[in-house]
């Protein structure tokens, strides 16, 4: 009997009976891979065709007041998840190799297994290796079960036998379904394995965390449909050579996607950083040009971060630009505004911009401090050490208002700064905290002259 095969797009999950160079649904090139569909008589297919006890319900009859959330034991992690992991949720955790994904989840196991049963499934390490890591992290509870397995059917049997409240699968790229005729990590294997695990989580009310590998472009490996299937997608960011790590939600059906959690990697594992502003500003140089402190909002939390820049004479005919922790195109736009509206000629200079501490800033309120940092590096004049700024910059050089101004000012004063440069449109109806001087400005040129001539 001839086995039927289909081609699936790795970006959006579109299926085609023949190979196509370009996906007609998402437009991706060379994204189709061949796989064998699951036969209807396979165990996983039988489970999917099994009669369900559920029935359609009126929206007025559904009660959500008793929603159960499982605390991870880490306030930073709970904040990113929206207050803890919802029972029956399906969470995907991604990150660069060596960022600390497995360490984070094993520490979560150590907190939860004190009161609940936890199953940690690893397809990359043996049970002995997991035990050695658990000893280093001081995780030693009888309710934590370690299982080195890659076959999905065996994982489901272990779940049925133990009935855990939390299951961690590390990683989804290493597990496989015996009913699918392809190698682990392929589009068909990841898709089928995730569907089976998701069905298990929803039917049994078990919280399942999946660890996902990322590609060199920084996206999760495997089909794009994997991100659509899960309830939450969180990324664990940070350079392995830096101590600070940032947990950020890219998708969350149970909470906001703007929240972040900050951790510090130490010898004993990951430690929470409840006050990231002080951590990010530690070691800040005094009296150095090209440095400006920005106040940005990460979800509901204001964070102070240092933006540094160096502007030097170009060595070659084409000036070089390099940006770390800040959007490159946005930085180029701000340099053009600074040259056109403030009269700083950057066309013949190399410019380098960096956000310290490994933080990545995407909020428009960081425009003004980025411009002040570049102007300070260009003129080689230091900005007042007690000054913080925030504000969005327009193409005509005007400064636009941002949100949560009162909350930003309170955080600035709490850290100990005494001066703040902000857009003039933000001052109306604003009450400044005691000891904090406000300097409202209307344009970029006004802000540059104010900060570099005082």
Query: How does pLDDT run across 74-83, given as a tens digit for each residue?
Result: 999 999 998 8
Size (the chain), residues: 454
> Is 83 found in the same domain as 204?
yes
- When pLDDT is averaged across residues 300-324 and rounded to a whole number, the result is 92
Residue 48 pLDDT grade (very low, low, confident, very high; cuts 50, 70, 90): very low
> Is 248 found in the same domain as 140?
yes
Residue 431 pLDDT grade (very low, low, confident, very high; cuts 50, 70, 90): confident
Query: Which distant-in-sequence residues (6+ apart) come within 8 Å of 36 by Cβ?
Result: 3, 4, 5, 6, 180, 181, 182, 188
User: Does 63 reside within a domain?
Assistant: no
CB-CB neighbours of 443 under 10 Å? 18
> Is 227 found in the same domain as 147?
yes
User: Does 46 reside within a domain?
Assistant: no
User: Does 368 reside within a domain?
Assistant: yes
Task: Quick: pLDDT tens for 11-30.
Answer: 777 788 888 898 888 888 88
Residue 40 has pLDDT above 60, yes or no: no
> Is 365 found in the same domain as 304?
yes
User: Does 412 reside within a domain?
Assistant: yes
3-state secondary structure of 241: coil
- When pLDDT is averaged across residues 251-270 and rounded to a whole number, the result is 88
Query: Do residues 397 and 444 make contact, with C-beta atoms less than 8 angstroms apart?
Result: yes
Q: What is the reported pTM?
A: 0.75
Query: Do residues 305 and 283 make contact, with C-beta atoms less than 8 angstroms apart?
Result: no
Query: Do residues 123 and 260 make contact, with C-beta atoms less than 8 angstroms apart?
Result: no
Residue 58 has pLDDT above 60, yes or no: yes
> Is 368 found in the same domain as 245?
no
> Is 398 found in the same domain as 293?
yes
Whole-angstrom distance, CA of residue 225 vs CA of residue 446: 49
Q: Name the residue range of residue 394's domain.
A: 283-453
> Is 378 found in the same domain as 290?
yes
Residue 289 pLDDT grade (very low, low, confident, very high; cuts 50, 70, 90): very high
- Residue 97 is predicted with a pLDDT of 84
User: Does 244 reside within a domain?
Assistant: yes
| Out of 38-42, 256-260, 267-271, 278-282, least confident range | 38-42
- Residue 340 is predicted with a pLDDT of 93
**Residue 375 is inside which H or E element, if any?**
helix 367-379
Task: Quick: pLDDT tens for 205-244.
Answer: 999 999 998 877 677 777 778 888 999 999 998 776 778 8
Task: Give the count of domains, the chain.
Answer: 3
């Amino acid at each position: 009997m001839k086995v039927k095969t289909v081609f699936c797009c790795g970006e959006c999950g579109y299926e085609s009976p023949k190979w196509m160079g370009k996906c007609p649904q998402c437009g991706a090139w060379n994204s189709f891979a061949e796989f064998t569909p699951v036969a209807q008589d396979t165990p996983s297919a039988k489970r999917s065709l099994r009669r369900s006890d559920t029935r359609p319900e009126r929206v007025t009859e559904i009660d959500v007041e008793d929603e159960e959330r499982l605390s991870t034991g880490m306030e930073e992690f709970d904040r990113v998840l929206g207050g803890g992991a919802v029972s029956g949720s399906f969470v995907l955790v991604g990150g660069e190799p060596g960022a600390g994904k497995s360490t984070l989840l094993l520490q979560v196991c150590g907190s939860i297994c004190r009161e609940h049963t936890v199953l940690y499934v690893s397809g990359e390490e043996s049970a002995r290796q997991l035990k050695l890591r658990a000893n280093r992290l001081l995780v030693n509870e009888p309710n934590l079960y370690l299982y080195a397995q890659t076959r999905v059917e065996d994982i489901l049997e272990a779940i049925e036998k133990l009935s855990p409240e939390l299951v961690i699968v590390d990683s989804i790229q290493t597990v496989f379904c015996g009913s699918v005729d392809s190698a682990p990590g392929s589009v068909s294997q990841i898709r089928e394995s995730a569907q089976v695990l998701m069905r298990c989580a929803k039917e049994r009310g078990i919280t399942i965390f999946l660890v996902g590998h990322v590609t060199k472009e920084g996206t999760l490996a495997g089909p794009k449909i994997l991100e659509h299937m899960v309830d939450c997608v969180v990324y664990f960011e940070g350079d392995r050579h830096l101590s600070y790590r940032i947990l950020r939600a890219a998708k969350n059906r149970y909470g906001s996607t703007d929240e972040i959690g900050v951790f510090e990697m130490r010898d004993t594992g990951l430690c929470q950083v409840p006050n990231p502003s002080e951590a990010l500003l530690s070691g800040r140089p005094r009296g150095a040009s090209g440095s400006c402190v920005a106040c940005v909002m990460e979800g509901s939390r204001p964070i102070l971060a240092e933006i540094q820049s160096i502007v030097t004479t170009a060595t070659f005919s084409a000036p070089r630009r390099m940006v770390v922790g800040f959007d490159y195109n946005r930085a180029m736009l701000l340099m053009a505004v600074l040259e056109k509206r403030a009269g700083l000629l950057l066309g013949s200079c190399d410019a380098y911009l960096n956000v310290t501490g490994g933080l990545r800033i995407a909020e428009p309120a960081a425009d003004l401090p980025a411009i002040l940092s570049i102007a300070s590096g260009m003129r080689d004049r230091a900005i007042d050490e007690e000054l913080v700024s925030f504000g969005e910059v327009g193409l005509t050089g005007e400064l636009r208002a941002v949100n949560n101004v009162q909350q930003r000012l309170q955080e600035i004063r709490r850290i100990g700064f005494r001066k703040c440069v902000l857009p003039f449109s933000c001052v109306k109806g604003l009450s400044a905290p005691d000891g904090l001087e406000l300097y409202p400005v209307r344009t970029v040129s006004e802000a540059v002259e104010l900060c570099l001539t005082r």
